[in-house]
Structure 1
Amino acid sequence: IRPHRVMSLNVLILVGGLSERMGRDKSLIERPDGTRQIDHIVALAKLISEKVFLSARDSDARGTGLPVIADQEPGAGPLGALASAAAAHSGSWLVLGCDLFLLDEATLRFLLEAHDPAKGSTAFRNRIDGRPEPLCAIYEASSISKASEYSKDNRCARKFLESLQPTLLDLPHPAALDNANTPLELAEAFQKLTQGVTSKAVQLLYFAALREARGLSSETVETLACTAAGLYEELRFR
């Protein structure tokens, strides 16, 4: 793959989470092809920029050789990480979560080509609830200064991104930003990686209290899920 880099863009890969629900460091999980998840994300990031950094709670580069920007305020989440990065280096930032197991080059290229530097940020819509995805988004330098102040009262990265009124894009590959926070969600992601992502129709049958709540006994829904856990995650946000 030939790199096509945007020289003015910094990339921040977030690896500072506790991964409590997964029970192990998500960045070090081995993918079906044998590569570590962190190496997959780093390889994608290096295709678009030479300025790639890790955001972590400590100085551990996890064998990537990348410079690490330690969180100035541990526990402040992605907004704290973004504020720490902006304090260390000027410019705009592409922020990437380390748990995007389905992220691909085409999705990043689409984001870069569509982003508008005149806007405060550019992001994708979540394929289920339509809200912006904060952990695969470009934050322009003009908006990053607000992150530190915002995080003092509200550490929700998604709400911060919404406050910026970002340019919102539809995903070219619908499941590309499906993340994995639990072993069941990881199994779903790996199924998609090995079997591919296809839309399918599933008939849902409702009984008793659920039937009363929905006001119908059955319905057919379109889903990209490969497992029961994946289907549940899609349905609970509908």
Structure 2
Amino acid sequence: MISPNSKPSVVAVILAGGKSSRMGEDKALILWDGTPLLEKVCKVADECCQQVYILTPWPDRYLSIVKKEYTFLLESNPGQGPLVGLAEGLAQISADWVLLLACDLPLLDSIIIESWVSQLTQLPSDVFAFVPKQDRLWQPLCGFYRREALPELQHFIDRGGRSFQTWLEQVAVQVIPVDRQCSDMLWNCNTPNDLLASRGEA
């Protein structure tokens, strides 16, 4: 874990409130090399950030698989999507930057994430987000968001906005280039077939 005195302050918010409808079971609890996906993501986040938060409507479900050092944030309006989740996280956290992570990223690499963290000090103050972009699509669930983005984000949500892709096209974002190694890291498992394929069983 980086020193609490490092600047800027960076914390992780891991989203664990999705319906997992395509998977058919809670993705956060799926085992990857014997470890629940949520626990794997938490461990990487813990290596790169000063604090790890888990945003979920059902913290009791995950108490047995996360360390006591991690903090649960209760998702007050579940089912609204990750953009609303980001807003809830930013509203409850005082750090300079939030690293937003999905709970289904089994290939997260702490070395890559730490290299991105090191670049945050170089960003202009008017940049609200630092996000990978791949094949013309943002990869917002492995991206960094400045606390000052909250008013603009909340205004977008209040007008009915729920699309991360749309919001990121409207605010100042610094693109994180995605090479092959980063592309592999950003892979997530959405369906049982994805899971089987990743294990060479499909």
Say if 1:177 and 1:43 are closer, same or farther in 2 by CA, change over 3 A. same
* 1:38 corresponds to: 38
Say if 1:146 and 1:71 are closer, same or farther in 2 by CA, change over 3 A. farther
Q: How many residues align?
A: 188
* 1:25 corresponds to: 26
1:156 aligns with 2:160: no
* 2:195 corresponds to: 186
- 1:203-236, Cα deviation, whole Å (9 max, x unpaired): xxxxxxxxxxxxxxxxxxxxxxx97xxxxxxxxx
Instruction: Between the two structures, name the one with larger relative contact order (CA 8 Å, sep ≥ 6).
Output: 2
Residue type of the alignment partner of 1:4: I
Q: TM-score, normalised by structure 1?
A: 0.72
* 1:57 corresponds to: 57
Instruction: Check the 8 A contact 1:72/1:80 in 2, yes or no.
Output: no
Instruction: Check the 8 A contact 1:102/1:189 in 2, yes or no.
Output: no
Residue type of the alignment partner of 1:80: V
Q: CA deviation at 1:43?
A: 0.5
Please state whether the residue corresponding to 2:91 is helix, strand or coil. Answer: helix
Instruction: Give distance in 2, aligned partners of 1:162 and 1:101.
Output: 27
Matched ranges for 1:1-238 at <5 A? 3-5=1-3, 8-31=9-32, 33-60=33-60, 62=62, 63=64, 64=66, 65=68, 66-91=70-95, 92-115=97-120, 116=123, 118=125, 119-126=127-134, 129-152=135-158, 153-172=160-179, 173=181, 174-191=183-200
- 1:93-120, Cα deviation, whole Å (9 max, x unpaired): 1100011122211221232123326211
Say if 1:47 and 1:75 are closer, same or farther in 2 by CA, change over 3 A. same
- Please report the RMSD computed on the Cα atoms of aligned residues, expressed in angstroms: 2.1
Q: TM-score, normalised by structure 2?
A: 0.84
Q: CA deviation at 1:147?
A: 2.1
Residue type of the alignment partner of 2:176: L
Residue type of the alignment partner of 1:43: K
